[in-house]
Amino acid sequence: MLWVLVRKELLDNLLNLRFITLCVVAIVLIVSSIVVLTGQYHEELIDYYNRVNTQDAFIDQYGHTNRIGWMSRLFREPSRYQPLVVGIDRDAAQENFLSNPIPVFLSKLDFVAIVSVLMSLVAVLLAHSAITGEREDGILKLMLSSSLPRTTIVLGKFIGGVITLIVPFTLGVLLGLSYIAVAAGVELRSLDYGVFAILLLISYLYMTAFYALGLFFSARSRTSNVAVLKSLFAWVVLVLVLPNISPFLAAQIYRIPSVAKIQRETNKIESDDRDEIIGKRLQQIVQMTFPDFATIRSMTKSDLQKKLDSDPVFRDRYAQFQRAFEELVRDVNTEQRRIADAIRESFENQSHHQELLATVLASLSPLSNFVFAATDAADVGLQSDAEWAAQSGEYDRVLSEYVNQRYAETRQRNPAFDFNDYLDLRGRPRFQFQPPPLAMRLERILVPAGVLAMFNLLFFAGAFLSFLRYDVR
């Protein structure tokens, strides 16, 4: 019986002109955004290889020990999934004076944006009249009078609606993916298929959550007009409001000082305060152990030199004093740096907490969970920086070890060789970013995907319970 109902729903929807139009629009959009973004990916990839080669050639020709860190700055390869998931736009970080400001101004229309805004709206619009519409037409009364259980009806509606939503969507996505694979000539690896599958699955989870939401409001309303208003209100709150305000709310709730303030504070600790402490302690040392040096500061340089030359006892004592002074400076420097480091570290922790709070606040909306899961699966999300930092940091260490070794070797052969001289580094290890494996990506998206599943459960349970008590007259 359930399948008869599912079939009815399917036919109802597929023969509906509204629905067909929306699906065609969605498919055209998905495919065209994939095509355009693939073109952009190619361009960026060429530029990336070009840059890597230029820099490599430069190091081959001008490599020297002193500026090796500055010379070999690692570039991030454009993400392979950029045609689908733009994620955190590197341009938007605006690291240079000449950075392109447009990504900050308007976001890009990628697969994630299309699913999160357009497909969720389609799902809500498809579902809003599922129950109210049948009541208005009087069909619901007839169905229930033929002793169909309510459970079967609501399940049939859910499954039928979800299939109508998913099938054309999947066709569109597959069309776009085959463009990436065939026409665009991007060589696909097994990891890529895994990522594509994850993206599809979380899109399904996301769309079904909104379908269940629409069904819920349909089961809570008497007429379709009211149901659509309620669903749209919920859609606006969940899609347009909650995710967008969460980072700002987090910044307000969990206030952290500005970076400029922290920098000023640490600067003060490491220079002004340091000088003051050194001055004080020096005075103490002079009073305690070198009372005879109390007036040494007021001595002119030539007098001091004369005395040093003429008096060997004084000379020894002066050397002792100098050593004590150097030790003092070193100790105070370490101490002050420790204090400043503690401040910097606590600031880092605070900003991580702030980001965490923003993520948690945003998780109240299915959209954010979908975006987090999609960007993390494609390794262009909030968690992508850590992996990059680890691998690039490791490479920097390996490279500097290699350079130091080469330097020591060359210097052994030629004692006059210094760190500004050309050093042959052609045999250096090269950097290759290892993208996180599928298992790691799955682990990352576990929480957001789980929350999405919870939303599904919650909304569907709401729809189910409401329909059980629905007045069909």
Partner 1 sequence: MIWSIAKKEILENIFSYRFSILTVLLALLMAVAVIVGYGDFLLRLENYEVLRPMPNSPNIIIEPTPMSMFAKGLEANLTRLYEVSILGIEIRQNQQLVNRIFSLFTVPDMLFIIKVVLALIAVLFSFDAITHEKEQGTLKLTLSNGIRRSSLVVGKFAGRFVLVFVPFTVLFLLALLTMSLLPSVAVTSSFWWKNLVILLASCVYTLLFTGVGLFVSSIIHRSSTSMVVSLSIWLLFVFIIPNFSTVIAKRLTPVPTSDRIEMETRLNTIQAIYNRIQREKEEPRGMEGVRMIRQLRESTTRITELYRPKMNALMRTTKSLVRISPSGALNVLLTDIANTGLYEEVRAKDAVTQYVERNFNRINELEPGPIELFRYTRASLGEVFSATGYVDVVVILFFATLFIAAAYVRFLIYDPR
* Shortest spacing between CB 103 and partner 1, in angstroms: 7
Nearer to partner 1, 342 or 356 (CB): 356
Is 286 or 449 the residue whose CB approaches partner 1 more closely? Answer: 449
Closer of 89 and 387 to partner 1 (Cβ):
89
Instruction: Tell me how far, at minimum, the Cβ of 275 lies from partner 1, in Å.
Output: 18
Q: Which is nearer to partner 1, 97 or 190 (CB)?
A: 97
> Phi-psi category of 379—alpha, beta or left, where left has phi over 0 and alpha has psi -120 to 50?
left
Q: How far is the CB of 22 from partner 1 (least distance, A)?
A: 7
| Closer to partner 1 by Cβ: residue 129 or 293 | 129
Least Å distance, CB 358 to partner 1, is 5
Minimum distance between the CB of residue 271 and partner 1, rounded to whole angstroms?
14
In the bound state with partner 1, the residue whose beta carbon lies nearer, of 193 and 422, is 422
Nearer to partner 1, 68 or 332 (CB): 68
- The C-alpha angle 404, 405, 408, rounded to 5 degrees, equals 85
With b for 16 or more beta-carbon neighbours within 10 A and e for fewer, the 439-450 pattern comes to eebeebbeebbe
* 467 touches 214 (CB < 8 A): no
Minimum gap (Å) between residue 99 Cβ and partner 1:
4
Lookup result for tokens 């900003």 = 351
As measured in angstroms, the least distance from the Cβ of 78 to partner 1 is 10
Q: Closest separation between CB of residue 408 and partner 1, Å?
A: 21
Q: How far is the CB of 250 from partner 1 (least distance, A)?
A: 6
Torsion angle defined by CA atoms of residues 216, 217, 220 and 223, in that order, rounded to the nearest 10 degrees: -130
CB nearer to partner 1: give 3 or 49: 49
- Of 393 and 437, nearer to partner 1 (C-beta) is 393
Taking phi first (over 0 means left), then psi (-120 to 50 degrees means alpha), and beta for anything else, what does residue 258 get? beta
Find out whether 213 and 460 touch, Cβ atoms under 8 Å: no
